[in-house]
Amino acid sequence: ENDIQKKLPLRNRKMIITAGPTHEAIDPVRFIGNHSSGKMGYAIAETAANLGAQVVLVSGPVSLSLEHSNIKVVSVTSAEEMYQAVHNHFSNCDIAILSAAVADYRPKDVASEKIKKNDSTLTIQLEKTKDILKSLGEIKEHQFLTGFALETQNELENAKSKLKKKNLDLIVLNSLKDKGAGFKADTNKVTLIDKHNKVQAFSVKPKTEVANDILQYIIQQIDA
Ligand code: CTP
Ligand code: CA
């Protein structure tokens, strides 16, 4: 192994990374969203680019920005747009890491005009969005596919079942129960579970270091 391979172990690897929340329109001025900051996905993108990867970062609405010669940012708003953008780049990629907090449901009908307040209650019917990660698990060939699992109960068990159901190579369990973990924080605590059910727990650390732990794990797997 020469020096360049050691320093840039992701050289010549094409990656897709998703980050941030999605916004699902209710009417022209309102949406359903969540508190994802995008920090974890952006940290993974930047670290991967610094390790030599060519990165397509498909990002939902966040207040972060990233300029790097190895990163192309594709900005999207809704789960449907994220699905399309990810599928545009997947066949050509080697490693996909889907860290976005995609809305599971969206309004079934989007009102074309601002909804006026009338009755004391308002019901909005929701329909499921496409599961982007699962759809990749169904078509993947050579790609190394990584998902996240955000759990508040039965964490390991739920993460393992997502790994299996979505045909992943690796899942990153993100525990919201831990102090210093979660959406807004600059730190995170994760557990990696691979497709052989090997479990590796990490301590609370900055998201940039978590990004490196995840990428080093993947590098080890694809080089093995
Ligand atoms: N995900 C996705 N598309 C969706 C929903 C989720 O790609 N429509 C991805 C997320 O980016 C994450 C993984 O699936 O990598 C798991 O997301 P999570 O919300 O933890 O699990 P779900 O499968 O959505 O199940 P639930 O929310 O019911 O726990
Ligand atoms: Ca979900």
**Interval between CA 142 and ligand 2 midpoint (Å):** 26
> For 104-121, what is the HEC assignment?
CEEECCCCCCCCCCCCCC
pLDDT at 110: 97
State pLDDT tens for residues 153-191: 899 999 999 999 999 999 999 877 766 776 778 899 999
What is the pTM (predicted TM-score) of this model?
0.96
Active-site annotation holder among 2, 12, 34, 92: 34
State pLDDT tens for residues 44-85: 999 999 999 999 999 999 999 999 999 999 999 999 999 999
* 206 is a domain residue: yes
Q: In what order do the strands lie in the sheet with 95-98?
A: 71-75, 54-59, 14-19, 95-98, 144-151, 170-175, 190-194, 199-201
- The ipTM, to two decimals, is 0.99
Query: Please, which residues bridge with residue 22 across strands?
Result: none
State pLDDT tens for residues 12-40: 999 999 999 999 999 999 999 999 999 99
* 90 is a domain residue: yes
pLDDT at 175: 79
* 32 is a domain residue: yes
**Interval between CA 149 and ligand 1 midpoint (Å):** 7
State pLDDT tens for residues 104-157: 999 999 999 999 999 999 999 999 999 999 999 999 999 999 999 999 889 999
Residues 6+ apart with CB under 8 A from 74: 56, 57, 58, 59, 85, 89
* 63 is a domain residue: yes
pLDDT at 45: 98
- Is any ligand 1 atom within 6 A of the Cβ of residue 150? yes
Task: Write the CATH number for 141.
Answer: 3.40.50.10300
Does the structure show a pLDDT above 70 at 1? no
> What total of structural domains would you count in the chain?
1
* 116 is a domain residue: no
Pocket test for ligand 1, best of 22, 24, 78, 132 (most atoms within 8 A of CB): 132
pLDDT at 4: 63
* Residue 93: domain span: 3-107+126-223
